[in-house]
Structure 1
């Protein structure tokens, strides 16, 4: 094995699509696949399975990712220390995120980051809306839409899925619907249409639920609480809905929505030590919890 083969394997593991992975790694797709196959031969195991969604890690591949990411982390630390950057791993990073991602995914993990990098402070701005990076309101943001203007650097953080959820008690009372025509007895829990802060939150138009009586909120956390207390049916990201066993996914074949989180930083500051460190840590956390964002069938 050599490190370059491991690096290319890791790029494909993080992207899943050969074209995107090859472009990001600076090689052609044929070379990428050949090098991954070479690594598989060296390890005498299969690292990927080719599916309709792209290259999916096998159990051996998933284990290898964990080992490589540990090595990558230590190499990054060594690079920072040897180059004198270690002394610059301090200061504050203001991160603007959606309320759901910030509350349910990122906030619980920040204790780990602080333990690793005690001199870096994090200001997590998790609201129904985003701060403006072009106006320097934040150092970085995790957005629902890829920005098209400004001196910004954007990378795909992860795709995520959303489903229709309902409390078990309502299903016990009205029965489990088998298609959207059987939802008439349920209220809809959703966003306030004219107060949406991103077009990616227009779920109702995609899901044929617009005729239901509605309870609305600008807050995804408020919607979660309504659903948790039996207020109706509503669309939640899988990484939120999975937290309450009593909330059941329904009509998953009809209502399955995919969105993307984009990590956005300023071009001129993204190479600074504390920002590179946070981005590397965050990417590592997202990859390690991939199953929370995309539901395995």
Structure 2
């Protein structure tokens, strides 16, 4: 008996999740069914594909060999599906985007809403995580990142630069000593990332400014901005978030003006997927335009 594509999908899920229960949740199957299907595939191939370890299900040598072929088969199926979907006038189906929460909260909602307006049969899922999205495990179809990855078989496209400045509320600035220099920030309560949870070197703003203590810290941009809008301190904020928080004022603009970049990262095997290509084009254009619109509003 030769393995079928359904069994290969289950094999891929177990290999990526390293657990029958996690694979079952992903596939909407109970773990016992997943285990039986894996056993059936091993019987069909006459080889053990997984070894059980304290860490979970680990690929055997035979499993590693099958993994390479299964991924190619998956890419071929996705490419064929995307090519057929791309023939239609509008996009349909489901697409999941991973993004850091600043982008996910302040850019993607309006960008994705406009894409959905133009494609009524399209479902978009935004995965907002304060960490790097794992595309190899198919957590998402594509991801917005701050740093361009250099490892792995990935398609990387720069979307746009964006700017950041130090901010605080008017009330905070009026009720605390004047902030005239970066060195003077040390006398103020700083709001920023939890130092040991910064997942991208590009986000370590405060350390770059020589600020060691972060009195109010969160791994979420949204939480940081909520804290600063309460008048509790000073933080670094994306300019594109400022139109949503009119109570915030930029400070030290002549001394602190940071520029970072967003990149779109995709599976290399998806470059022939016309559906995802069209979506990626709409997404990058939308993010670029939204950053320009919001930064212009923040400067006015």
TM-score band w.r.t. shorter chain:
0.5 to 0.7
- The residue number in structure 2 matching 1:153 is 155
Contact 2:111/2:287 (8 A) holds in 1: no
Name the structure with the higher helix share.
2
| Structure 1 length-normalised TM | 0.67
- The residue number in structure 2 matching 1:240 is 241
- The residue number in structure 2 matching 1:33 is none
- The residue number in structure 2 matching 1:92 is 94
Distance of aligned partners of 1:81 and 1:185 in 2 relative to their CA distance in 1, 3 Å threshold: closer
1:107-163 C-alpha deviation (Å, 9 max, x unpaired):
123222112112221111012113211222211000111111222111100111111
Contact 2:83/2:275 (8 A) holds in 1: no
Contact 1:145/1:262 (8 A) holds in 2: yes
Contact 1:159/1:293 (8 A) holds in 2: no
Contact 1:163/1:249 (8 A) holds in 2: yes
**Runs of 4 or more above 4 Å deviation:** 80-84, 293-297
Structure 2: give runs of 5+ residues left out of the alignment.
1-81
Larger radius of gyration: 2
Residue aligned with 1:254, SS: coil
- The residue number in structure 2 matching 1:269 is 270
Structure 1: give runs of 5+ residues left out of the alignment.
1-79
- The residue number in structure 2 matching 1:165 is 167
Contact 2:170/2:249 (8 A) holds in 1: yes
Contact 1:164/1:250 (8 A) holds in 2: yes
1:34-74 C-alpha deviation (Å, 9 max, x unpaired):
xxxxxxxxxxxxxxxxxxxxxxxxxxxxxxxxxxxxxxxxx
| Structure 2 length-normalised TM | 0.66
Contact 2:191/2:233 (8 A) holds in 1: yes
Contact 2:189/2:234 (8 A) holds in 1: yes
Of 116, 126, 133, which aligns to 1:124?
126
Alpha-carbon distance, 1:208 to partner = 2.8
Residue aligned with 1:149, SS: coil
- The residue number in structure 1 matching 2:29 is none
Contact 1:163/1:235 (8 A) holds in 2: yes
Q: Counterparts of 1:275 and 1:253 in 2: how far apart (Å)?
A: 42
Residue aligned with 1:270, SS: helix
Contact 1:165/1:241 (8 A) holds in 2: no
Contact 2:133/2:139 (8 A) holds in 1: yes
Residue aligned with 2:244, SS: coil
Q: Counterparts of 1:221 and 1:131 in 2: how far apart (Å)?
A: 18
Alpha-carbon distance, 1:178 to partner = 1.5
Q: What is the number of equivalent residue pairs in this alignment?
A: 217
